[in-house]
Amino acid sequence: MKIFKFGGASVKDAESVKNVSMVLKSQGFDKCLLVISAMGKTTNELEKVVELYFKKEDYQTEIEKIKQKHIEIAKGLFQNNHVVFDEINLFFDDIVSFLRRNKSPNYNFVYDQVVSCGEMISTKIVSEYLNDIQFINQWLDARDYIKTDDSYRDGVVNWQKTEEFVSTLNSSQSYVTQGFIGSDDNNFTVTLGREGSDYSAAIFAYCLNATAMTIWKDVPGVMTGDPRKFENVSLLSNISYEEAIEMAYYGASVIHPKTLQPLQQKNIPFYVKSFIDPTKEGTKVGASEKNQSEESYILKDNQTLLKIFTRDFSFIAEDHMSLIFTHLAKYKIKVSLMQNSAISLALCLEDKFLKIDQLNEELQKVFKTEVVKNVSLFTVRNAKMENIGKFYQEKSVLLEQIAKNTLQMVTQ
């Protein structure tokens, strides 16, 4: 079975959905599982609904806008009396109904129940359209298959249960399902983190022993840098799992960091290709004699630089490190870069749950700290060390680190 993942940009409107069918026609739809994201910017729009709900402001008007956008997309794909219009109305009625009766003050819980609806609606539209044009498929609710703990907005997959459920699928059929979502033991929706649809595809690929997995993007494949941020970048046609994992960890947006591990464990070939021109080769990630190690550039924005000092000029010892990392785990703050000296520790942090102020307050009970928000982490992989001087030009460097052929700097 093949696994194809289509992101929000590839299903943003009716013409884009039709283009998905053209991609499938060029690749072959037989024995294929499609993982589909929410349409366009729907996830951002549903996040706004959750914010308005907790502010006790008018969220229903925003829901109605999102609903009308999906109805307009459906009008470009179906006859007016098609059953899909009832399905769309039902999904949005469910959002309103949930928010009216909800008693939970847990923002992350509410977020997952609301924002996940974007994937449910998009997959229903795509599945119905493909069936109408004779790409016969079965629509699946991913929450019935991907089982997680109750870490809302950052679910941890229960692999044993997930494999058990996914293994019941018939690998000779084709399916359409959602990325980004699973469910806990109480069958509440749990999301896998922003951009988690790639990870969902990898979970299905692993559990189904897929022959290959392809994610379809609006770029030719994995590039030596984001073409929107860097000039003169080129396509990496072949890279190893290890190189892809490093690039994803450092912030390469084209690959979700968790995606590679399950694929590597079963040596499942992974392709990144363009839905704009599906005939192009794209990038193959896996074991190959053709694997490249080109100089590549990654810019990770919205980081926080936290410097921690002992109050009495004593060394930053193991007990200090243990305390610091216990607090980081507590607030689910990810370390992108760390550097320690005798009496200080500098951390470049990714704070997706906006907990840095709480972390800092805790740490100040024991340490002195300095916080610099809205910094960027610039990484050069496979750097040509004789030419690294050019990377420092016109940059305010707050922290730098060189390990082997990887240069990293935190900049303002």
Instruction: Return d(Cα 224, Cα 237) in angstroms, integer.
Output: 10
Show the tokens assigned to 236.
């990496």
Classify 300 as helix, strand or coil.
strand
Count CB-CB contacts under 10 A for residue 318: 8
The beta-strand segments (E) located in 225-295 are 238-239, 270-274, 283-285
Annotated binding site: 5-8, 43, 119, 228
Q: Is 166 exposed, middle or buried (0-12, 13-18, 19+ CB in 10 A)?
A: buried
- Let me know the angle formed at the C-alpha of 166 by 182 and 133, rounded to the nearest 5 degrees: 90
Instruction: Return d(Cα 147, Cα 165) in angstroms, integer.
Output: 9
Type of residue found at 282: G
Annotated binding site for ATP: 5-8, 228
Backbone angles phi, psi at 345, to 5 degrees: -135, 125
Q: Which residues contact 134 (CB under 8 A, 6 or more apart)?
A: none
How does DSSP classify residue 277? S
Instruction: Return d(Cα 306, Cα 362) in angstroms, integer.
Output: 13
* 251 neighbors 336 (Cβ within 8 angstroms): yes
Instruction: Return d(Cα 411, Cα 339) in angstroms, integer.
Output: 15
Contacts of range 228-233, beta carbons closer than 8 Å, 24 or more positions apart: 229/297, 229/299, 230/297, 230/299, 233/297
Q: Dihedral of CA 92/96/97/99: which sign?
A: positive
* 365 neighbors 284 (Cβ within 8 angstroms): no
Annotated binding site for substrate: 43, 119
- Let me know the angle formed at the C-alpha of 391 by 388 and 397, rounded to the nearest 5 degrees: 115
The beta-strand segments (E) located in 237-327 are 238-239, 270-274, 283-285, 296-310
